[in-house]
Structure 1
């Protein structure tokens, strides 16, 4: 594939950054004595060790030598041991056809990033500019939309059904992108090159794209030469023994860039994400991170690495099963209460993965009232109005999002939600 057509010119590209290049190269040459990088001496680090206690009672210890290494600047791409663990995970759960491809144009690579949002910030900066049209689900996470629009992109939201993005609407968007962007005002927009999607436990709708639908969409992407950005933080939170395979498991061309995160597997505060995909794209992300000096804390990465070492692949899979069972129980408790108290007021479909229930008001065409914090505070419960996720901000929607995983007070939460919705209906 010719990846140059997906990358936008970078303003700083012609300015050399020799200091950073030399410093990064020095990390790869252990016998080299570097006088180039502006690095403090390892022997003056005031913290000489630490330990982490796991939920199972195991203590993970960082000794003095490890702390010295972690306390200086690290390789922007990520610790080699962390990258090795990520490759093991992807080989087991995705097994991308390009993983071991000898073709240098399809070489598979990885970079560790400061969370998925950090990865998106860099990725959209590299692939989206003014007058670009980006395809994504008609309802999408607000931070994602903002990142795209900050880069100058115009968004075309694609309709969804219970299997994910509708292929008929995807085809329509690829032939009528100009007409579907109402804010274009006669500007000449470029044909979409990117399809961004959250295929598992979609935020906010909770929909999981079926494998058959993914194969259809991948074929369309081949026909129209689209790059697929697979943002999949909920992949490991599928409420089934058999996971729906990822887009990356289909990727014979090297056209899928996959975003993963420890936020839903361990803790959002770690801010650890990673991007896997064709080496040509990963190199550009690494270069962008290097120029901005953006990377995760080396101590945080060390903690994650220790956790992977403690788990091993079997332990990682056991942890996934634990999360699945735990969150499935919360989903079921939440829906049980909704069936008891809310079926006369709202409708919804049970999610097969992820953290969210996408609900619809039966007696109100606009859920924006949920943005009135003073009104909702009277009932001591918050949900998110659908407009916050809509690609078309001109249209009202009766949908709203419930996150069922954060609280353990499902019964009380749904009682309060019923009172809130009854109050909303009474105000009409």
Structure 2
């Protein structure tokens, strides 16, 4: 069968070399038929079986419209965001060399154009890896489990010689900036299955991770020449702050509580914005937020808080950058040291794989993307915190218009994530685990983090002086935010005017002396020109072994007692 031409409603960025074909029809055709049922795990398998083998050769163009279900057709279209794009973003044109590749769809065409090397010159013939099989991914100390590993291999010519979908000859070559069709299909299905954006023209693009995606998004939506500014939590991910600052984007912090960013504070800031009082910065049009397991505070917005924040952004026409690396690490409430670990699952269940996975999805707080009737959310997802950080692969979801602008940026910057990383992730999450298996992996990971969190919180109860140190047990993520009452420092009792930052430095030095590293809260301040609102330290339960976690917290407690002369 001849490969189909590009989708007729695709943007000018459609640079496809071959496209995607199916057993009965072009994949794009499956999204043009009727149907309104939401996507399920069973429906994904049925659609793939009906469509047949995915054919996506080297550097073939693809987009999410090729892989979305017919249910999207009945949704309204998103708003347009031309008024937000920076001069840099608006001026970006499609890559000429990638545009030329669209002519390769003509039958019999011989290319002397693109500098795509021949796979015979790639010195990697085969790769293999062992991965755990669902449902028992990790050894649970509460039960006896036998772990089974599966060996996966991929060769250079598996597509032509073994009828595979993805191989080294494709992955090791140049590709499209949106990412490989093979992994983009999985990402699109996952996005619809979990988030189901409520407008029709949403799309995904693979990224080089959320930090790279954030840098591109800020350059797209904020402009130094316009005196643009960015709103975020008053304590925010330090690398995000360090990404924005060199771009000339002013940062302003929104007050927080135990549920993270406060909608009332966001509304108050925007309603009373004074350009002169804000040093010439114009009223912000972009909000950057981490709603689940926020870094550094560990706070998680509940569903109503997310809806309130979204409505404030609609009221003031603010675009939202939703960064959610910890979304799937939502944990049961902490029950106290006496029930340490008892609230987590033991990994054994009589439910089917589909039933278990879909039950897990129902426990998750709805995302801002799932509430986004306007298309004002650009959501960033990542494999870094839930599979492997070193893959440097993630994806974004936004309107077709915003994704098209992102691709223009990626074509001249990263050119998309590494093909070898995409291939390994495809072999793992699509070909081996499938959607249900991946969700089971996330469930296992969540349970492991819950046990780690409970160990850390139990150690805090044992070793930290509660009259000086307080905390809110995190419901997601991998961080705990420790609030230290600086007014209990002896210098305050003596009437001395020692600053919060001075006390923070003393406590940090004491921690190092005791043999524990914890992050200073001031490192995460959105507005560094203001005095900090309190004394905080961030600790994580992600890396250290349980016994080491307890030792570290004991040392932190000793540092507090020394600094505060307790």
Residue 94 of structure 1 corresponds to 195
Residue 391 of structure 1 corresponds to 526
1:17 deviation in Å?
4.3
Residue 207 of structure 1 corresponds to 299
Q: For the residues of structure 2 that align with 1:78 and 1:170, how far apart are their CA atoms?
A: 35
Q: Do structure 1's residue 369 and structure 2's residue 490 form an aligned pair? A: no
Q: Do structure 1's residue 244 and structure 2's residue 365 form an aligned pair? A: yes
Residue 296 of structure 1 corresponds to 417
Q: Deviations over 1:403-427 (max 9, x none)?
A: 111111221111121122223224x
Q: For the residues of structure 2 that align with 1:151 and 1:34, how far apart are their CA atoms?
A: 40
Residue 258 of structure 2 corresponds to 162
Residue 232 of structure 1 corresponds to 324
Q: For the residues of structure 2 that align with 1:180 and 1:30, how far apart are their CA atoms?
A: 62
Secondary structure in structure 2 of the residue aligned to 1:156? strand
Q: For the residues of structure 2 that align with 1:267 and 1:410, how far apart are their CA atoms?
A: 22
Q: Deviations over 1:164-192 (max 9, x none)?
A: 3222211111123336965x1xx3x3221
Aligned residues of 2:89 and 2:219 also touching (Cα < 8 A): no
Q: Do structure 1's residue 418 and structure 2's residue 418 form an aligned pair? A: no
Out of 433, 436, 445, which is 1:314 matched to? 436
Aligned residues of 1:369 and 1:424 also touching (Cα < 8 A): no
Q: Do structure 1's residue 113 and structure 2's residue 221 form an aligned pair? A: no
Residue 88 of structure 2 corresponds to 10
Residue 264 of structure 1 corresponds to 385
| Change in 2 beyond 3 A, CA 1:255/1:407 | same
1:146 deviation in Å?
1.7
Large movers: runs of 4+ above 4 Å? 14-17, 26-32, 179-182, 370-373
1:307-346 mapped onto 2 (5 Å cutoff): 307-309=428-430, 310-342=432-464, 343-346=466-469
Highest CA radius of gyration, 1 or 2? 2
1:377 deviation in Å?
3.2
Residue 112 of structure 2 corresponds to 35
Q: Do structure 1's residue 405 and structure 2's residue 529 form an aligned pair? A: no
Q: For the residues of structure 1 that align with 2:236 and 2:108, how far apart are their CA atoms?
A: 49
Aligned residues of 2:197 and 2:369 also touching (Cα < 8 A): yes
Aligned residues of 1:206 and 1:358 also touching (Cα < 8 A): yes
Aligned residues of 1:370 and 1:385 also touching (Cα < 8 A): no
1:298 deviation in Å?
0.3
Aligned residues of 1:232 and 1:260 also touching (Cα < 8 A): yes
The more displaced of 323-332 and 340-349 is 340-349
| Change in 2 beyond 3 A, CA 1:180/1:256 | farther
Residue 347 of structure 1 corresponds to 470
Q: Deviations over 1:183-211 (max 9, x none)?
A: x1xx3x32211111100011111111111
Aligned residues of 2:296 and 2:524 also touching (Cα < 8 A): yes
1:14 deviation in Å?
6.6
1:11 deviation in Å?
7.8
Residue 123 of structure 2 corresponds to 46
- Structure 1: gaps (5+ residues): 102-106
| Change in 2 beyond 3 A, CA 1:30/1:422 | farther
1:389 deviation in Å?
0.6
1:22 deviation in Å?
2.3
| Change in 2 beyond 3 A, CA 1:31/1:417 | farther
| Change in 2 beyond 3 A, CA 1:140/1:293 | closer
| Change in 2 beyond 3 A, CA 1:21/1:326 | same
1:117-196 mapped onto 2 (5 Å cutoff): 117-130=211-224, 131-178=227-274, 182=278, 184=279, 187=280, 189-196=281-288
Residue 104 of structure 1 corresponds to none
1:299 deviation in Å?
0.4
| Change in 2 beyond 3 A, CA 1:279/1:14 | closer
Aligned residues of 2:204 and 2:398 also touching (Cα < 8 A): yes
Aligned residues of 2:473 and 2:480 also touching (Cα < 8 A): yes
Q: For the residues of structure 2 that align with 1:381 and 1:174, how far apart are their CA atoms?
A: 40
| Change in 2 beyond 3 A, CA 1:26/1:387 | farther
| Change in 2 beyond 3 A, CA 1:329/1:21 | same
Aligned residues of 1:370 and 1:382 also touching (Cα < 8 A): no
Aligned residues of 2:507 and 2:560 also touching (Cα < 8 A): no
Out of 256, 268, 281, which is 2:402 matched to? 281
TM-score by length of 1: 0.91
CA RMSD, 1 decimal = 2.2
The more displaced of 57-66 and 329-338 is 57-66
1:111 deviation in Å?
0.9
Aligned residues of 2:379 and 2:398 also touching (Cα < 8 A): yes
Q: Do structure 1's residue 68 and structure 2's residue 153 form an aligned pair? A: no
Q: Deviations over 1:250-285 (max 9, x none)?
A: 111111110000011111111111100101011111
Q: For the residues of structure 1 that align with 2:233 and 2:107, how far apart are their CA atoms?
A: 47
Q: For the residues of structure 2 that align with 1:371 and 1:415, how far apart are their CA atoms?
A: 14
Q: For the residues of structure 1 that align with 2:181 and 2:120, how far apart are their CA atoms?
A: 23
- Structure 2: gaps (5+ residues): 1-78, 133-147, 158-166, 333-359, 490-499
Aligned residues of 1:370 and 1:384 also touching (Cα < 8 A): no
1:157 deviation in Å?
0.5
Q: For the residues of structure 1 that align with 2:104 and 2:480, how far apart are their CA atoms?
A: 46
Q: For the residues of structure 1 that align with 2:150 and 2:514, how far apart are their CA atoms?
A: 42
Residue 24 of structure 2 corresponds to none
1:334 deviation in Å?
0.7
1:16 deviation in Å?
7.3
Out of 77, 80, 84, which is 2:185 matched to? 84
